[in-house]
């Protein structure tokens, strides 16, 4: 493990320098409607999600923001009664086509959940889980991936001597960063984060936010948050959802300083929600 | 706030506590009586000779050895059959089956099957295994019948164990692109196995005490050679006990009581094993 002194982000270095003017989009959402049984939860969502940026999704409880982020990796299908219409294009393909394999999608699109959800295994086995299910068995390769991922999640220094400890014994903030490392280990292109700091204390939250800034250099990030300050701090673009509709989708600064829609203004000035 | 009628409420609480305590005592008293009767009658006849002997015409020489071996072999068949089919069914119902009306219907009926009287399973076994499949009154037929009998319980308890695995760790696995089968093998089963094992052992311990269905599918009442294959004649402990109690001479009651002690000890050991597994391997979320 020690002689592996490769740079931390090998696989992603091919990426061309980011040019602010011509941001390409990684997701194109078209006319997305979604129902839980007979209750419609999302209405006609149209949205382009840019590559290598942080896109925040805000809105009051029950507005459909968590549902929406879960449509991006089809995790929403874990609820058996869900129906969708419309399309979400990822890499030029509609991920809701029958022939599109979810396993494939979820390999490219990682997810970090609201509550830290490590497996009841060691830190090492948690992070190595993804590579292992994708067929990597070689111990040296796994060691390298685990180290790289934990470094990527800014938790290597804290945990490098505790790799064999059960992840359940870590603090909530550490668990969440192990979960982020676990997502990174699969080398996704996109990371979806569903209120990743809502179960964390302020210091852990600050660490995760800092980490997100770091990660967006190499990953496209979509983050759901109920915390408007957080969205303002860390995101490049912000989408405001209300009652299942996408009300406004703007560059973050514009949305918070000069919202176009009255409802957005009411929400961000604290008149409801 | 002024509390109204506090004395009355406190009194009511005391009355209820006493009632519940009495109910517990009644159950315990009968358990103690059972143990007392069995131990006082049976201990005199229980020795190494009793455990290793075959049935005999004289109470002093009679033993339960073929019943023990028969019960253990029978449980072997039951375990293999009920465990494979039971766990597979539970995995299908919990993880794979579409959640529709038909699946609900199947679930409810499996639960109902668990409440069907064991003698009905005996008749089923007689029709299918003994006659239709032509196995005859052999150990295999008894084992398959008993497997059917405990299968619903194995399915239901395995389903409960699978359902108790928190959905957030399943989501974590699916979220990394794991297939359903990979998630089952690597995340769900390791977390559910202690619960599944506990359910299986408890089902087996129910099966080991069953008598009625085995009488119907033709377990012998007394045999003088040990069963040496799945197609041997066989007997089991509860049937031996049952036959001894049917005899008029008092000594045979003591022989039967000794058999009950052996059966109870085996049951206690199995239950202790189940508790031990549950405590040792339980994953806490």
Burial zone of B174 (CB within 10 Å; 0-12 exposed, 13-18 middle, 19+ buried): buried
List CB contacts (< 8 A) between B194 and chain A: none
pLDDT of residue A11: 45
B contact test, residue of A83, A127, A133 with most B CBs within 10 A: A133
**Residue B284's pLDDT band (cuts 50, 70, 90):** low
Chain B (242-281) residues lying within 8 Å, Cβ to Cβ, of chain A: none
B282 in contact with chain A, both atoms CB, cutoff 8 A: no
List CB contacts (< 8 A) between A222 and chain B: none
Q: B235-272 in b/e burial notation, b at 16+ Cβ within 10 A?
A: bbbbbbbbbbeeeeeeebbbbbbbbbbbbbebeeebee
Q: What is the mean pLDDT of residues A249-271?
A: 91
pLDDT tens per residue, range A97-145:
988 999 999 999 999 999 999 999 999 999 999 999 999 999 999 999 9
pLDDT at B148 over 50: yes
B contact test, residue of A129, A172, A191 with most B CBs within 10 A: A129
Question: Cβ of B98 and A80 within 8 Å?
Answer: yes
* Nearest-angstrom CA–CA distance, A155 and A175: 10
- Beta strand A54-58 with A93-94 is unpaired
Compare CB distances from B177 to A103, A115, A120 and report the shortest one's residue: A103
pLDDT tens per residue, range A157-202:
999 999 999 999 999 999 999 999 999 999 999 999 999 998 888 9
List CB contacts (< 8 A) between A78 and chain B: 167, 171, 174
pLDDT at B229 over 50: yes
* Nearest-angstrom CA–CA distance, B161 and A109: 30
Q: Number of Cβ pairs closer than 8 Å across A and B?
A: 68
Q: How far is B182 from chain A (nearest CA, A)?
A: 7
pLDDT at A54 over 90: yes
**Residue A273's pLDDT band (cuts 50, 70, 90):** low
pLDDT at A4 over 80: no
Query: Which tops the pLDDT comparison, B6 or B87?
Result: B87
pLDDT of residue B188: 94
* Nearest-angstrom CA–CA distance, B46 and B162: 42
pLDDT of residue B227: 83
Compare CB distances from A134 to B171, B177, B191 and report the shortest one's residue: B177
B179 in contact with chain A, both atoms CB, cutoff 8 A: yes
Give this prediction's pTM. Answer: 0.82
pLDDT tens per residue, range B110-140:
989 988 999 999 999 999 999 999 888 888 9
Name the residue in chain B with its Cα closest to that of A188. B176
**Residue B283's pLDDT band (cuts 50, 70, 90):** low
Compare CB distances from A113 to B168, B186, B191 and report the shortest one's residue: B168
pLDDT of residue A1: 40
Report the complex ipTM. 0.86
In contact, B123 and B148? CB cutoff 8 Å: no
A contact test, residue of B103, B172, B190 with most A CBs within 10 A: B172
List CB contacts (< 8 A) between B284 and chain A: 120, 168
**Residue A6's pLDDT band (cuts 50, 70, 90):** very low
pLDDT tens per residue, range A77-98:
888 889 999 999 998 899 999 8
Compare CB distances from B172 to A103, A107, A113 and report the shortest one's residue: A113
Return the number of other C-beta atoms located less than 10 Å from residue A17's C-beta. Answer: 4
pLDDT tens per residue, range A208-231:
899 999 899 999 999 999 889 999
Question: Cβ of B172 and A117 within 8 Å?
Answer: yes
Q: What is the mean pLDDT of residues A232-236?
A: 94
pLDDT tens per residue, range A11-43:
444 445 544 445 788 999 999 999 999 999 999
Biggest CA pair distance of chain B: 79
Q: What is the mean pLDDT of residues A201-208?
A: 89
Interacting residues of A263 by C-beta distance below 8 A, sequence separation 6+: A240, A242, A247, A248
A contact test, residue of B98, B175, B186, B191 with most A CBs within 10 A: B175
pLDDT of residue B177: 93
Question: Cβ of B283 and A120 within 8 Å?
Answer: yes
3-class secondary-structure state, position B5? coil
φ and ψ at residue A33, rounded to 5 degrees: -120, 145
């Amino acid at each position: 493990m020690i002689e592996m002194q490769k740079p931390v982000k090998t696989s992603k270095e091919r990426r061309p320098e980011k040019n602010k003017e011509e941001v390409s989009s990684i997701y194109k959402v078209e006319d997305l409607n979604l129902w839980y049984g007979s209750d419609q939860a999302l209405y006609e969502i149209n949205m382009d999600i840019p590559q290598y940026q942080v896109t925040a999704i805000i809105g009051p409880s029950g507005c459909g923001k968590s549902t929406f982020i879960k449509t991006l990796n089809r995790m929403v299908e874990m609820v058996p009664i869900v129906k969708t219409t419309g399309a979400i294009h990822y890499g030029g393909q509609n991920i809701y086509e029958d022939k599109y394999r979810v396993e494939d999608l979820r390999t490219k699109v990682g997810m970090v959940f609201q509550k830290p959800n490590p497996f009841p295994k060691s830190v090492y086995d948690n992070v190595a889980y993804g590579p292992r299910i994708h067929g990597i068995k070689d111990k040296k390769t796994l060691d390298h991936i685990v180290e790289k991922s934990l470094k990527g999640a800014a938790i290597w220094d804290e945990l490098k001597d505790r790799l064999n400890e059960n992840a359940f014994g870590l603090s909530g903030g550490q668990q969440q960063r192990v979960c982020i490392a676990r997502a990174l280990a699969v080398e996704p292109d996109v990371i979806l984060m569903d209120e990743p700091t809502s179960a964390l204390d302020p210091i852990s939250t600050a660490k995760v936010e800092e980490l997100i800034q770091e990660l967006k250099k190499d990953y496209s990030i979509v983050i759901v948050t109920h915390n408007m300050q957080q969205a303002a701090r860390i995101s490049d673009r912000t989408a405001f959802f209300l009652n299942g509709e996408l009300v406004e989708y703007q560059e973050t600064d514009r949305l918070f300083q000069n919202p176009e829609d009255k409802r957005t203004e009411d929400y961000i000035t604290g008149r409801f929600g | 706030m002024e509390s109204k009628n506090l004395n009355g409420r406190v009194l009511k609480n005391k009355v209820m506590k006493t009632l519940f305590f009495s109910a517990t005592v009644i159950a315990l008293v009968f358990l103690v009586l059972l143990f007392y009767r069995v131990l006082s009658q049976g201990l005199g006849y229980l020795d190494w000779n009793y455990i290793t002997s075959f049935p005999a015409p004289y109470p002093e020489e009679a033993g339960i050895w073929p019943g023990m071996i028969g019960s253990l072999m029978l449980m072997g068949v039951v375990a293999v059959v009920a465990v494979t089919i039971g766990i597979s069914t539970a995995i299908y119902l919990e993880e794979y089956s579409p959640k529709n009306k038909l699946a609900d219907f199947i679930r409810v009926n499996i639960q109902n099957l668990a409440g069907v009287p064991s003698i009905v399973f005996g008749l089923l076994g007689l029709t299918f295994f003994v006659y239709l499949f032509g196995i005859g009154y052999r150990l295999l037929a008894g084992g398959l019948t008993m497997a059917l009998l405990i299968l619903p319980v194995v399915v239901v308890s395995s389903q409960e164990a699978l359902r108790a695995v928190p959905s957030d760790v399943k989501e974590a696995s699916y979220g990394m692109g794991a297939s359903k089968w990979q998630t089952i093998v690597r995340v769900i089963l390791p977390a559910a196995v202690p619960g599944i094992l506990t359910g299986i052992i408890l089902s087996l311990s129910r099966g080991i005490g069953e008598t009625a269905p085995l009488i119907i599918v033709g377990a012998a009442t007394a045999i003088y050679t040990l069963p040496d294959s799945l197609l041997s004649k066989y007997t089991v402990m509860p049937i031996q006990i049952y036959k001894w109690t049917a005899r008029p001479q008092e000594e045979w009651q003591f022989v039967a009581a000794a058999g009950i002690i052996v059966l109870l000890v085996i049951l206690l050991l199995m239950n202790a094993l189940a508790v031990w597994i549950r405590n040792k391997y339980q994953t806490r979320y």
